[in-house]
Structure 1
Amino acid sequence: MTASTPPARLHPVPPAAELDATSRLLMHAAVARAGTQGYRGFTVRDLVADAGISSQTFYTRFTSKEACFVAGLQELAEAAEVHARLIIGDATDPAERLRRTITGALSLAADHPTATRVLLLESYAVGTTAQAERDRVLDATVQLVGGAAPDIVRAVLGATARVALEGCVDTTGATPSPRALAEPLAAWAATYANAALDDLPTMPAATSRRRGRAPGSLVPVGPDGSRRLRPGPKREPRAFVEHHQQDRILDGVATVVARDGFDGLTTRSLSTASEISSKAFYQHFSSLDEAFAATMLTGGRGALAAALPASMAPTDWGDGIAQGLRALLEFLAEEPAFAKVALIDALSLGTAGVAFQREAIDVLAAIIDTGYERADTTVAATVSSAVAAGAWELCADRVRRERAADLLALAPVLTVLALTPAIGITAAVRVAGRMAAATADSPT
């Protein structure tokens, strides 16, 4: 199975013309259950009880719980597209269309947190067919907004979706309401008003291929195709052997999840991928969840080790941000398994996945903030977080389309995304040009 192949367990969804009142009642029950309990928190038996029908009647409408849920998700996505058209209305200026989209989408998220959670989070628990519904809404909205810089629009809408997602899953009250963040996000988006990126430089192709910085490639594969230590008379120190086993486990987690999704991660599949026994696994980790958390932490540290020094090296703060972003993109391109797990698959864990990603986005925002602090201009406190979330969306979109190897090409647009609120788009494009030229001149 490749990363782009929908899971075999996902059965076809009936055409809309075949959906009668009972079918729609079941679909709505599935969406409601997923929004309050999570997709994995209910069964067909629950849906049958909600609808007041027999199991036999359920299976005359849908072949599985998944098919029922996806049908409801598709209906929800269609409604979201209609809402986007309505809130944009008769506005013709792309900047105004984007402002209306942001404020309207976050008001809708505040009023309908259950539906928001289903579309933006629970879809990841099912597979690529369900995830595609979230992406279809975003793709359609980018086209509706229009403008000369679709990547910037996608980044802004991705940051908006992140605010909506985090607002609907927070139960502590620590996260501001999506509606409360609508105006700050709209003000940030306005800094890119009517942006045209015709002069944006093209990044040279990556020439380096460093590995071993994140789970998925921590332990090199030997000539025999194995990651195990070679047998022989020389005995390695116990601490080295344990560290080697841990790295193989983390490699196995990233490999299995990137290939099969989180549901494919079992002790058996992990043992095969990491080439260790289940007994050895439990000597290092108490559960698969703990191993996944360690995988995310290790990869995050690798990303930080790549981006932070690069961002601090240049004298000019703008060049520092540009070089930090370039280094981060290189890291992700060179570690495709970890990139997919972090950017996409983590959300299949539900709220825990949202928390994993929030920590990573916060680290990226802190790197950007460090650059802003060196500048002679004032930037609103929410900007770095919005930029980081927008950058995250652009990277995830590239990986989702199986173009992880091309992530470095995003460096100029991410530079413009990060610097425009502080120095304007013209100066930001110049910095992107210097970054692209420096990359071309680099021996690596």
Structure 2
Amino acid sequence: MESTSQDFPRRLPRGTHGLDRDVVEASQRARLLEAVGRAVAERGYAAATIDDVVRRAGVSKKTFYEHFADKEECFLAAYEAAGEQLLERVREAHANQDDWLERTRAQISAYLRWLAAEPALARVFLIEVAAAGPQALERRERLRDRYAELIRERRREAQPRLPIEVFHAVVAAVDDVVVRHIREHGAAELPALEPVLLYLHVALLAGPRVAAESAEL
């Protein structure tokens, strides 16, 4: 879920290695976050165990409990890290475009490509999160709210009085289409949904005629 390809080695050398403690702990945490995503993707949230996580991360159970109280806490941290990464990708896509329609197209493309690049983790992010309990669902709603606010901010000049609930509806509609596609076809071909999701965005915010022209449906 959270990238481990920063400055941290995926496996630390055994014994004395001379690495700063902060570097060691950051490496362990990053590997645990990625490992819990992989474990849940392969086995489902309910079946995945801490043993599965530490085996994939290459750390001991003792190390796991130095970072997290239980599987749920580890999963929630991984989910939030993935959410931050996704929002950053979307912001970057927005920043590179001036026209509203092109910003919307770029944002949708960034979202779908991010999910398609990691099909197993896309399933975790959008489907398995529902099995992780009320705290996970609360975090999902917070992430959706931030995504809706991001879309609203980009549309504020043209439609300043449009209520936030409209943008919540856009996000909910997008998620529903994407989740259905993942369940039925997997995540690898998600970028093919770009015209459909562009139509949804524009139809709800600017009307069906503009949407049909923009999405070329």
Q: TM-score, normalised by structure 1?
A: 0.45
Partner deviation per Cα, 1:331-389 (whole Å, 9 max, x = no partner): 11112233111200111123233212212221221122122213257544421101100
Aligned residues: 213
User: Out of 346, 364, 368, which is 2:147 matched to?
Assistant: 364
**Residue in structure 2 matching 1:345, options 92, 113, 128:** 128
The answer for the alignment partner of 1:374 in structure 2 is 157
| C-alpha distance in 1 between matches for 2:70 and 2:57 | 15
Which deviates more, 406-415 or 245-254?
406-415
Q: Which amino acid aligns with 2:172?
A: A
Partner of 2:39: 256
Q: Secondary structure at the match of 1:229?
A: coil
Aligned to 1:273: 56
1:262 partner SS: coil
Deviation sequence 1:38-77 (CA, Å, 0-9, x none):
xxxxxxxxxxxxxxxxxxxxxxxxxxxxxxxxxxxxxxxx
Q: CA RMSD in A?
A: 2.3
Whether the aligned pair in 2 keeps the contact of 1:377 and 1:422 (CA below 8 Å) is no
Superimposed CA distance per residue, residues 147-182 of structure 1 (whole angstroms, 9 cap, x where no aligned partner): xxxxxxxxxxxxxxxxxxxxxxxxxxxxxxxxxxxx
Structure 2 distance, partners of 1:377, 1:432, is 24
Which structure would you say has the larger Rg?
1
1:29-44 correspondence runs (5 A) = none
Query: What is the match of residue 83 of structure 2?
Result: 300
- Classify the secondary structure of the residue corresponding to 2:46: helix
User: Unmatched 5+ residue regions in structure 1?
Assistant: 1-213, 221-225, 434-444
Answer whether contact 1:250 1:295 (CA < 8 A) is retained.
yes
How many Å apart are 1:243 and its aligned residue? 0.7
- d(CA) in 1 for partners of 2:163, 2:102: 20
Whether the 8 Å contact between 2:170 and 2:200 is mirrored in structure 1 is yes
Residues 1:219 and 2:4 aligned together: yes
2:23 alignment partner, SS class = helix
CA contact (8 A) 1:347 1:354 kept: yes
Query: What is the TM-score normalised by the length of structure 2?
Result: 0.88
The Cα of 1:234 is off from its aligned counterpart by 5.5
Gaps (5+ residues) in structure 2?
none
Return the alpha-carbon distance in structure 1 between the equivalents of residues 17 and 56 of structure 2: 25
Sequence identity (%): 29
8 Å CA contact 1:249, 1:270 repeated in 2: yes
Equivalent residue in structure 1 for 2:137, among 348, 351, 354? 354
Alignment partners' CA distance in 2, 1:335 and 1:255: 10
Question: Secondary structure of the residue that 1:404 maps to in structure 2?
Answer: coil
Deviates more, 1:382-391 or 1:399-408: 399-408
Does residue 245 of the first structure (1) align with residue 28 of the second (2)?
yes
1:320 corresponds to: 103
> Counterpart in 1 of 2:180?
397
CA contact (8 A) 2:129 2:136 kept: yes
Q: Is the 8 A contact 1:317 1:374 kept in 2?
A: no
